A and B are shown apart, each in its own frame.
Chain A
């Protein structure tokens, strides 16, 4: 049972790493910055998955924080990037 789980997990990790590598190609190549931003977002989601798989593999529950944190940060980061690409600023000045 455990052997099967391990093998499956490792295969998943490998697939995810390949996915990250392919996304990396998109980050490097572009051609536009929004492409890169989306790719980075996708890399982040892959990271969440990878962290979860590693947690199964190790096995430990301590990496659950990491997964949640990546989720929050990704959201914030992508919003910030999107705002930057659209407006050029991330934090608006007060309108007073």
Chain B
């Protein structure tokens, strides 16, 4: 299985080499082989006596992360969908994309995506699952933005990236919590500990975070907005990613975690509630769309909502219906996207208002579209698979088990779901009819089309034909894959064997009446569509979640810019105020909280009068520096402070320090004089009183802080100093009587070395600043 998962990405490594021959043989034909081989490999697993297969390959054993591949019925359904439709899409794209496109890029992204999808559905390790999950987001981003010269493509790619990665990160949080709670990274072992998770304190958080991940990926309300914008991708990508595979990753995730979460009542409320809401909203909005792919995008959203709702019902029949519909949806929606691509390719337009009467010009595409849309609408004809899943859906919606529900909302939801289901299905019917009849019947508007329409080449038709054959075969023999395949999938989700026979005629059950209502009301609404379509200017009217998204994006940018501009105003004064206030607030708080202030006068030396006088002189000089308006005077007065310090060093018996201080002070004064000649005179400070006040408060506060810290640290002596050691051993070890110098060059020579380095760098820096001038920049 490892090889199957990574075969596409291995092939992707060689794709750029193949592009040399892309004029002779389209790269798509090579690419097709990988999913085909994988498809054949996985088909061999199908059988009535199918048992889950586990394979493990080490990756990061110390973190308990390994490529654990777990193939049960659920994964098998998805890998077959991914590889099967992947093959067809690769074939279709070989005819759809012209050789002059950047084919190698396209196929590298596509193969990357395939690997990611295989990894998502096969991984048993949650972190490996997450890695592949993000890889699908990234490769989807690349594919949506494939025509990156188009502004809409870039917008759509960014939008889908932001939303799905938001969900992905949320899911990561949920998965980490799950790992912490269960102490394992394997999904199967988590399922075994389902009761631990259900009773955990974090259950609400785990559930919410993982469900957000699933809902964003599967374009559930209100995260559905990225999918219609992702329609800027090339049509094979839309058909593959945004109808059959990636958007079902969220469905897969919910199905995978159903054995854990379905023990909670909220699972039904959230998953079914949001699912049915998505179904109704998206099918309602789909009727308004004028772009073929726009209709199909909203249709995909609503169908995903339907599957999600069925997973939430949690009954045997509902889960089976969900599994069945995953397969059905992949077949008819894939074919519909391909037909939309053909129409776009052959007429140059996807705008349904410009299309019409194409049935005679493109008879094969029209036939394929007929099967696809009627199946999607759930028309009761015995060769359409969509009808079965829709009837099962209605049936399941009538038999929701809320017997042990504690929350009133479950009851209400269970009552409302059948009506909502019928409502959503009516609109599904309306847009399906609108799609097929608006495109293929009515008057021809050839003058509005950029290309004269004609039937597509046969190669392009093969893939939709195969998918429509799938529709018809499942329609005619609905039990063909039942025992050997779909029953295993449903069992993997439900936990117990699920066997449901499917027949075209179930008798006059309520679900059948619901189908009839849908067809009749839907047909009437479709015929008189023009007379009621004005409703869309009221609901949703100008409101839409795209506006919310744009507003949020815009506002977050504006707000962060505002916040940044509010403190990053480029003024050094402002930054100093912020830095010093932060230090003050933090240190004062710590001193206050820990009772850090200490006052101990036991070991203070007596103060002599001359020390006081020198300190006083220094203080007067320092204060008058602040108020001096003459720059030379300011630097000379500052010199007094320096010399005063030197005198203090003398008094405190530090001759070396005094020497150095004197030299440095003199040089500094000289340097100041050097620089000041080139500077303008000190300006009369035009600060406001409030600014002066702030400055005063900050400087006095900071001085106070330092005083407090100095007093406290002097009063808190936790242990003796080590200076005694230096005094004793300076002569014996260092061979010198000048203890300061012995410390500088012997005991702590490394410090001195790097001080020298600092001076050297400073000297070089000054030399560089003066000598190396950019002649152009100086102008």
Contact = CB atoms under 8 A, between A and B. Distances in A.
- The judgment on whether A and B are partners is yes
Interface of A: 10, 13-14, 17-18, 20-21, 24, 27-28, 30, 33, 36-37, 40, 43-44, 47, 50-51, 54, 58, 60, 62-63, 65-66, 69-70, 73, 76-77, 80-81, 84-85, 88-91
Contact of B670 (A20, A30, A80): A80
Contacts of A14: 609-610, 613
B297 interface: no
A90 B650 CA distance: 30
B158 interface: no
A65 B655 contact: yes
B176 interface: no
Given A30-B630, A62-B655, A66-B658, A50 B669 contact: no
A73 B662 contact: yes
Main secondary structure of the interface of A (DSSP, over half): helix
Given A13-B610, A51-B647, A90-B673, A24 B636 contact: no
B621 A18 contact: no
B650 A17 contact: no
B639 A90 contact: no
Given A27-B637, A47-B643, A17 B614 contact: yes
25 contacts: A10-B610, A14-B613, A17-B610, A17-B613, A20-B613, A21-B616, A21-B620, A24-B621, A24-B640, A27-B633, A27-B636, A28-B624, A30-B633, A33-B632, A33-B633, A40-B636, A40-B640, A58-B653, A63-B658, A66-B662, A69-B659, A77-B666, A80-B673, A84-B677, A85-B632
B646 interface: yes
Given A24-B620, A66-B650, A18 B613 contact: yes
Contacts of B630: 30, 33
Nearest to A20: B617
Given A30-B633, A81-B673, A47 B647 contact: yes
Contacts of A21: 613, 616-617, 620
Contact of B669 (A58, A65, A77): A77
Interface string B595-610: 0000000000000011
Contacts of A50: 647, 650
Contact of B636 (A18, A20, A36, A91): A36
Given A77-B669, A84-B673, A36 B610 contact: no
Contacts of A24: 617, 620-621, 640
Contacts of B632: 33, 36, 85
Nearest first, the 4 A-B pairs at minimum CB distance are A17-B613, A28-B624, A73-B666, A62-B655
Given A37-B636, A50-B647, A65 B670 contact: no
Interface residues of B, number: 34
A28 B621 contact: yes
Nearest to B649: A66
Main secondary structure of the interface of B (DSSP, over half): helix
A16 to B, nearest CB: 8
A63 B647 CA distance: 11
B524 interface: no
Given A84-B677, A90-B674, A63 B650 contact: yes
Contacts of B662: 66, 69-70, 73
Interface of B: 609-610, 613-614, 616-617, 620-621, 624, 628, 630, 632-633, 636-637, 639-640, 643, 646-647, 650-651, 653, 655, 658-659, 662-663, 666, 669-670, 673-674, 677
B57 to A, nearest CB: 74
A91 B632 CA distance: 17
Contacts of A85: 632
Contacts of A70: 662
Which of A24, A50, A80 has the most B CB atoms < 10 Å from its CB?
A24
Given A14-B609, A24-B620, 17 more contacts: A24-B617, A24-B621, A28-B621, A33-B630, A33-B633, A36-B633, A36-B636, A47-B643, A50-B650, A51-B650, A60-B655, A62-B655, A66-B646, A66-B650, A77-B666, A81-B673, A90-B670
Nearest to B625: A28
A61 to B, nearest CB: 10
A13 B614 CA distance: 11
Given A14-B609, A24-B617, A43 B640 contact: yes
A63 B663 CA distance: 15
Given A54-B650, A58-B653, A77 B617 contact: no
B651 A54 contact: yes
Contact of B677 (A13, A60, A69, A89): A89
A38 to B, nearest CB: 11
B663 A73 contact: yes
Contacts of B628: 28
Contacts of B659: 65-66, 69
Contacts of A18: 613
A91 B624 CA distance: 29
